[in-house]
């Protein structure tokens, strides 16, 4: 079955192939430039046969360099992947959710990128939580969208993006299956806190 993970993996392979192709093109161009420079630096006593031999010799030398460059690129890419995965793990860990220095206990600080209370996004989120609370089982994304829009009177431009941001804000909202959402646990929304 072709899913999003498989599509992303395929795209990464395509990017790696494109990277290697570009590296090869640069290597060929670099080899041509070096050959021209050597040709200009040589005394005119050499004949054309020695030039051809030198060029083929240079091409065989450049292949290991190309493989080495590709290996370095892969290594740096893997290191970047590991760093981003470590950052996401740190963000989701309980220690990362501790209050930053300088913020006293009992006060909350609004996360960057979250909507202000009373905004369209906040109203949509509140309607989504209420709707999910009413349903005991997983609800289809299309049905959830209709109910949220009906309750809030606002339109959701992109349901997937909206639900991804909702899940980030409220980890209790889960996606058990493709296109279905459920609320596991209790959530108190902004209006219920007041």
Spell out the per-residue pLDDT of the chain, length 194, in tens: 578 888 898 899 999 889 989 999 999 999 999 888 888 888 765 555 555 555 555 555 555 666 677 777 777 777 777 777 776 666 655 544 444 444 444 455 555 556 677 788 888 888 988 888 888 888 898 999 999 999 888 889 898 888 888 888 888 888 888 889 998 877 765 544 44
Residue 146 has a pLDDT of: 92
CA angle centred on 35, ends 33 and 41, rounded to 5°: 105
Coil/strand/helix, residue 174:
strand
From CA 76, how far away is CA 79, in angstroms rounded? 5
> For residue 48, what are the CA distances in angstroms to 4, 42, 58, 72, 131?
55, 12, 15, 36, 81
User: Under 8 Å CB-to-CB from 179, ≥6 apart: which residues?
Assistant: 140, 141, 142
From CA 94, how far away is CA 86, in angstroms rounded? 14
Residue 6 has a pLDDT of: 87
Residue from 129, 123, 144, 127 nearest 185 by CA: 129
Residue 96 has a pLDDT of: 43
Residue 193 has a pLDDT of: 46
User: Under 8 Å CB-to-CB from 121, ≥6 apart: which residues?
Assistant: 115, 165
pTM over 0.75: no
Residue 136 parent element (H or E): none
Q: How far is CA 83 from the centre of its chain?
A: 12
From CA 138, how far away is CA 184, in angstroms rounded? 10
Residue 29 has a pLDDT of: 92
Give the chain's end-to-end CA distance (angstroms, integer).
47
Instruction: Give bridge partners of residue 174 from the DSSP assignment.
Output: 182
């Amino acid at each position: 079955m072709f899913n999003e993970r498989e599509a992303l993996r395929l795209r990464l392979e395509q990017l790696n192939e494109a990277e290697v192709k570009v590296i090869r093109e640069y290597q060929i161009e670099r080899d041509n430039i070096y050959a021209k420079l050597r040709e200009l630096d040589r005394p005119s006593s050499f004949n054309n046969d020695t030039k051809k031999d030198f060029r083929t010799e240079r091409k065989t030398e450049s292949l290991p360099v190309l493989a080495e460059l590709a290996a370095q690129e892969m290594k740096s890419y893997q290191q970047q992947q590991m760093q981003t995965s470590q950052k996401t793990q740190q963000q989701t860990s309980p220690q990362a959710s501790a209050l930053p220095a300088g913020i006293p206990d009992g006060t909350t600080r609004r996360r960057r990128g979250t909507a202000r209370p009373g905004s369209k996004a906040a109203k949509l989120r509140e309607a989504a939580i209420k709707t999910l609370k009413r349903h005991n089982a997983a609800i289809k994304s299309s049905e959830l969208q209709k109910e949220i829009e009906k309750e809030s009177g606002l339109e959701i431009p992109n349901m997937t993006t909206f639900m991804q941001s909702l899940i980030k804000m409220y980890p209790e909202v889960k996606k058990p299956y493709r296109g279905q959402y459920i609320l596991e646990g209790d959530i108190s929304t902004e209006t219920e806190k007041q």
